[in-house]
């Protein structure tokens, strides 16, 4: 690494990125390229001789950016947000600059210790129970994604259960979740060897706003116990992917406790909102959980990736995931004086991700972060009111955070139940390139999702997005009159 070369090139790169943010609204939000477009534009093999950064940046501008979907555009309303910020960016930059691999404490004591401190800070902001803090039996760790978070706790829970019922009892272990639980749990079950027929997917519907019914869970557990199975893991969600449903943690917590099950809460998206006192109620009952996860890389101004996981009993995780090869042995670890995060995750190597979360927490402060969340929720409320005022649209589920689920109403004479109509509307608005929204299906209905959460989004963007939706709906209806 030549420091002067870095200085010169990094300045160019920062200018390039700043210009990108200045012009971000000029790109179609959803990339409009066709599959395989890039192979036609890039040589078949790597160059023999060095090229200039200017040439590479020209290619980024001309060949890469057309194939980018602009998640940071203020007109991005799809899936859930994946925030960037100056603070998060600077943290990423610093992490890339130091480029350490902090798997054990000794490989960079600051990386381990800062991660513990920053997750304690965030845990306190969320008013998580004391046992999740590193000062007790538990602690926090940064995983890459919520998918990794649920996998590692499922492995810990599985092994804990097998120690109890016997190591050959894998076929008896049962996992509970709902039909709204993110697919990452299914993947985790596949990896953990949970028998597919032992994954209980509890049905939800509009009567509970798509949250888990504690009665259904109790029934399912009793049934499984009756046939000699062993309920061991429950995954609840605060802010489901389709519609931000919130499972009733308190009641679910009591059920898992009385059945000695591991209770995990996935708050990947909505966890961020719970730093505001008025939304903290959605975490009531978190004291009954064994693990809790939120993605700082979604709605917390921390550049991807940064998924915060807290566990009540870190030893359960370590028992499942630790290895101790000779080549990693060192005095601090052997003396049990330190935390080695390699034993809390799947890979060995790990990035210095706490730097960017630390930057975000320090450069914004709690009050600004709360304002940030509230602003997006107000914008979503505003969008919801626009939809509600238009008789040809309907708001489909109760909005809780910054996601609005809505649809264009089919005419009562129409043969279409509205699914094709809304599918076509989604296609039409996304093809304009002016906005990007996504969809889901709830109770058999095709529904449009409008997720406010890009850091640059203002009210004018929401109004403009609504105009695009109205215009495209009018065009569709004119083509296919009601
Ligand atoms: N859980 C919920 C509720 C989500 O909405 C998502 C993604 O949107 C995930 C988990 C998966 O997140 P990740 O990409 O961090 O694994």
For the record, the structure tokens of 209 come out as 């706003």
Taking Cα atoms as reference points, which of 313, 265, 318 lies closest to residue 126? 265
Q: For residues 147 and 214, what is the distance between their CA atoms, to the nearest angstrom?
A: 24
- Residue 430: which pLDDT band, with cuts at 50, 70 and 90? very high
Q: What is the pLDDT of residues 313-346, one digit of tens each?
A: 999 999 999 999 999 999 999 999 999 999 999 9
Q: Give the global pTM.
A: 0.96
Report in angstroms the alpha-carbon separations of 346 from 145, 148, 267, 389. Answer: 12, 8, 21, 49
Burial 191-214 (b: 16+ CB within 10 A, else e): ebebeeebbbebebeeeeebbbbb
Q: Is the pLDDT of residue 482 over 60?
A: no
Atom of ligand 1 lying closest to residue 147 CA: 16
What is the structure's pLDDT at 411?
77
Q: Is the pLDDT of residue 202 over 80?
A: yes
Taking Cα atoms as reference points, which of 250, 376, 270, 300 lies closest to residue 142? 300
For the record, the structure tokens of 219 come out as 């029934």
Atom of ligand 1 lying closest to residue 307 CA: 15
**Atom 14 of ligand 1, residue of closest alpha carbon:** 145
Q: What is the pLDDT of residues 394-411, one digit of tens each?
A: 999 999 999 999 999 987
Q: Is the pLDDT of residue 415 over 90?
A: no
User: What CATH number does the domain located at 101-351 have?
Assistant: 3.40.640.10
What is the structure's pLDDT at 480?
64
DSSP summary character for residue 76: B
Q: What is the pLDDT of residues 208-253, one digit of tens each?
A: 999 999 999 999 999 999 999 999 999 999 999 999 999 999 999 9
Q: What is the pLDDT of residues 263-316, one digit of tens each?
A: 999 999 999 999 999 999 999 999 999 999 999 999 999 999 999 999 999 999
Q: What is the pLDDT of residues 245-270, one digit of tens each?
A: 999 999 999 999 999 999 999 999 99
Q: Which of 82, 143, 146 to mutate to test the pocket of ligand 1 (most atoms within 8 A of CB)?
A: 146
Q: For residues 111 and 99, what is the distance between their CA atoms, to the nearest angstrom?
A: 11
Cβ neighbours around 57 below 10 Å, total: 16
Q: For residues 277 and 101, what is the distance between their CA atoms, to the nearest angstrom?
A: 37
Q: For residues 177 and 165, what is the distance between their CA atoms, to the nearest angstrom?
A: 22
Taking Cα atoms as reference points, which of 290, 348, 259 lies closest to residue 137? 290
Give the sign of the dihedral formed by CA 274, CA 278, CA 279, CA 283.
positive
> End-to-end alpha-carbon separation of the chain, Å?
65
Q: Do residues 399 and 445 lie in contact, with contact meaning Cβ atoms separated by under 8 Å?
A: no
What is the structure's pLDDT at 414?
72
Q: What is the pLDDT of residues 125-156, one digit of tens each?
A: 999 999 999 999 999 999 999 999 999 999 99
Mean pLDDT of the chain: 97
Ligand 1 centroid – CA 99 distance (Å): 27
Q: Which of 269, 305, 306, 405 to mutate to test the pocket of ligand 1 (most atoms within 8 A of CB)?
A: 269
- Residues having CB closer than 6 A to ligand 1 are 80, 145-147, 182, 184, 237, 239-241, 266, 268-269, 295, 307
Sorted by where each begins, the domain ranges of the chain are 101-351
DSSP summary character for residue 411: P
**Atom 12 of ligand 1, residue of closest alpha carbon:** 146
Q: Which of 180, 182, 440 to mutate to test the pocket of ligand 1 (most atoms within 8 A of CB)?
A: 182
What is the structure's pLDDT at 151?
98
Q: What ranges make up the beta strands (E) of 162-229?
A: 173-178, 199-202
């Amino acid at each position: 690494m030549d420091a002067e070369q870095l200085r010169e090139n990094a300045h160019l790169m920062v200018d390039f990125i700043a210009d990108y943010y200045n012009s971000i609204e000029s790109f179609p939000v959803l990339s409009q390229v066709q599959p395989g477009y890039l192979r036609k534009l890039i040589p078949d093999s790597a160059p023999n001789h060095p090229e200039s950064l200017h040439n590479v940046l020209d290619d980024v501008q001309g060949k890469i950016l057309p194939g980018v979907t602009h998640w940071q555009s203020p007109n991005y309303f799809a899936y859930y947000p994946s925030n960037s910020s100056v603070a998060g960016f600077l943290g990423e930059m610093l992490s890339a600059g130091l480029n350490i691999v902090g798997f054990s404490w000794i490989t960079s004591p600051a990386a381990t210790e800062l991660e513990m401190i920053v997750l304690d800070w965030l845990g306190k902001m969320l008013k998580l129970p004391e046992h999740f803090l590193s000062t007790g039996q538990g602690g926090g760790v940064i995983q890459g994604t919520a998918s990794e978070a649920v996998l590692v706790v499922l492995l810990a829970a599985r092994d804990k259960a097998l120690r109890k019922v016997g190591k050959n009892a894998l076929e008896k272990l049962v996992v509970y979740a709902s039909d709204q639980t993110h697919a990452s749990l299914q993947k985790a079950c596949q990896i953990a060897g949970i028998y597919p027929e032992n994954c209980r997917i509890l049905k939800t519907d509009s009567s509970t706003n798509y949250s888990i019914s504690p009665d259904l869970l109790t029934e399912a557990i009793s049934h499984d116990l009756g046939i000699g199975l062993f309920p061991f893991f429950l995954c609840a969600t605060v802010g489901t992917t389709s519609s931000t449903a919130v499972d009733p943690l308190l009641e679910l917590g009591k059920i898992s406790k009385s059945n000695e099950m591991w209770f995990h809460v996935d708050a990947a998206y909505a966890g961020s909102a719970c730093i505001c006192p008025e939304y903290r109620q959605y975490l009531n009952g978190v004291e009954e959980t064994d693990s809790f996860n939120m993605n700082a890389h979604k709605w917390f101004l921390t550049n991807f990736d940064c998924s915060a996981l807290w566990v009540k009993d870190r030893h359960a995780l370590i028992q499942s995931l630790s290895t101790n090869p000779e080549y990693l042995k060192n005095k601090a670890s052997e003396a049990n004086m330190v935390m080695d995060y390699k034993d809390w995750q799947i890979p060995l190597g790990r990035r210095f991700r706490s730097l960017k979360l630390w930057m975000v927490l320090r450069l914004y402060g709690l009050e600004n972060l709360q304002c940030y969340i509230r602003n997006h929720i107000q914008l979503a409320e505003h969008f919801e009111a626009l939809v509600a005022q238009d008789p040809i649209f309907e708001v489909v589920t109760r909005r809780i955070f910054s996601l609005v689920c809505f649809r264009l109403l089919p005419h009562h004479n129409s043969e279409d139940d509205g699914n094709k109509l809304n599918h076509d509307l989604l296609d039409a608005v996304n093809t304009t390139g002016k906005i990007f929204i996504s969809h889901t299906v709830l109770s058999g209905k095709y529904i449009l999702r409008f997720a406010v959460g890009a850091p640059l989004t203002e009210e004018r963007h929401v109004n403009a997005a609504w105009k695009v939706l109205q215009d495209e709906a009018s065009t569709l209806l004119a083509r296919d009159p009601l």
